[in-house]
Amino acid sequence: MPETIGNPLSWSVDHAKAVSHHLGSVASHVGHETDDLVLPQVRRIQLADLPEVLRRGVDDFMACRTDVAFLCLLYPAIGLLVAWFALDRNLLPLLFPAVSGLAIVGPVAAVGLYEMSRQREMGLEPGWSHAFAVVKSPNFGAILALGLMLGALFIVWILTAHGIFVATMGAEAPASIGAFARDVATTPAGLTMAIVGIAVGALFAALALAVSVVSFPLLLDRGVGVPAAVITSLRVTAANPVPVAAWGAIVATSLVLGSIPLFLGLIVVMPILGHATWHLYRRTVV
């Protein structure tokens, strides 16, 4: 069982770069021809704005909690399904990468929540049916395209995580959950896998956050294409690196806490984060 990792780290970083390049190349073919001419302005925000964003997210959740709770029953179901699938002995090393990687595709699952916040902002009383009205949006094709791109990023992350496991701990499947946890915590190879996996996972998470922090709300709200949405999201990240990083930490921590009791906490965590993301978009994009 090797105790060092050389090629896997560079291989993982190369994959992350390849996905980033792929996102840009695909985006250049999706959207409106005038996107490069009509880019929304972005605002600078402060860390102090994030509590207000979360408060507004909680307000939206409380106003729509019955409808939102109904919709968000899907999130713990997906989490449990992923966990059950990964608990197969051969897939056990992918359990944590699969669960943590759900944050990459989380913005896609929250599109309906953005629509509910948008409806409430206009003075309407949104219900669960408004969340499904997203499919009637003129920009649904662009939303779907960006969602597929994040889905591709999730798959590459899973393949990368598996490559790191094989390179550090070998191709043999763990004998049990206990044995795997013990190897990760007490062997040099296990510690190497954990450290490198977390570091590379952070790169994937940062890429997904930069690309999607405001892109889905923007696509839903305005008649722009994927290039304009992604570029605007990257500009928001560049203009507000510390607040966006802090927002990413809030999202990651909340998802971990919401996943602990059999993923049931996601019924509350996901809608609050989804609604709050809409208000983050309102504060950062003119």
Predicted confidence at residue 41, as pLDDT, reads 93
* Structural domains of the chain, count: 1
In a domain, 28, yes or no: no
Tell me: the pLDDT tens digits for 144-155?
Answer: 999 999 999 999
Phi and psi (nearest 5°) for 260? -65, -50
In a domain, 6, yes or no: no
In a domain, 32, yes or no: no
Confidence of residue 266 (pLDDT cuts 50, 70, 90): confident
Confidence of residue 31 (pLDDT cuts 50, 70, 90): very low
Question: What percent of the chain shows pLDDT beyond 70?
Answer: 75
Burial class (CB in 10 A: 0-12, 13-18, 19+), 194: middle
Predicted confidence at residue 255, as pLDDT, reads 82
pLDDT above 60 (res 26): no
In a domain, 166, yes or no: yes
3-state secondary structure of 285: strand
Highest mean pLDDT among 100-104, 243-247, 263-267: 243-247
In a domain, 29, yes or no: no
In a domain, 280, yes or no: yes
In a domain, 7, yes or no: no
Domain enclosing residue 56, as ranges: 15-23+37-284
The mean pLDDT value for 217-228 works out to: 91
User: Among 126, 139, 272, which Cα is nearest to 218's?
Assistant: 139
pLDDT above 70 (res 168): yes
pLDDT above 80 (res 32): no
Predicted confidence at residue 68, as pLDDT, reads 60
pLDDT above 80 (res 253): yes
pLDDT above 70 (res 36): no
In a domain, 9, yes or no: no
Tell me, what amino acid is at 138? P
Predicted confidence at residue 86, as pLDDT, reads 60
Tokens 């499919």 map to which residue? 135
